[in-house]
Amino acid sequence: MGVDEIYLGKKQKFITVVSNLESGEPLWFGRERKKETLDEFFQTELSAGQRMRISAACVDMWEPFRMSMEQWAPRCRIVYDKFHITQHANQAIDEVGRSFSARADRGAGWSKASAGCC
């Protein structure tokens, strides 16, 4: 199972899309990008037995999606998509780079001792 959103613009904002990742087909579309939106999918489209059989779902790091999955499909393993993992890793690398650059600008320089090493 895959859960993602599509940005439609300022007026409508987002729709939520639930997909079958094996076939690549969309299964369901919901208005907005909220926990309640994905809750609606679980409540109206799947039986309790179907929800319990979901073993894994690929989602972005949107907290409301994770919360809904944990509530309605407690056995489901959440897999974060590689785009968002890479985005967060790049942000962390940029932050470290800015920190070292700011220290160099202040004349602090770099050494193992200033980096907290050894």
CATH number, domain with residue 44: 3.30.420.10
* Residue 68 resides in a domain: yes
Quote the pLDDT of residue 52: 95
What's the pLDDT at 91?
81
pLDDT of 93 strictly over 80: yes
Q: Is 52 helix (H, G, I), strand (E, B) or coil?
A: helix
- Mean pLDDT along residues 45-73: 94
Q: What average pLDDT does range 32-57 have in this prediction?
A: 95
| Residue 63, domain extent | 2-81
Distance CA 38, CA 43 (A): 9
Maximum pairwise Cα distance, the chain: 63
Measure the CA–CA gap between 90 and 76, rounded to whole angstroms: 28
Does residue 103 sit within a domain? no
Closest alpha carbon to 42 in 14, 15, 74, 12: 74
Q: What was the pLDDT predicted at 15?
A: 94
Domain total in the chain: 1
> Which sign does the torsion angle of CA 68, 73, 74, 78 carry?
negative
- Report if residue 19 sits inside a domain: yes
pLDDT of residue 65: 94
Lowest-confidence region among 26-30, 49-53, 98-102, 110-114: 110-114
Amino acid identity for residue 4 in this structure: D
Q: Which of 7-11, 14-18, 83-87, 105-109 is predicted with the least confidence, judged by mean pLDDT?
A: 105-109
pLDDT of residue 64: 94
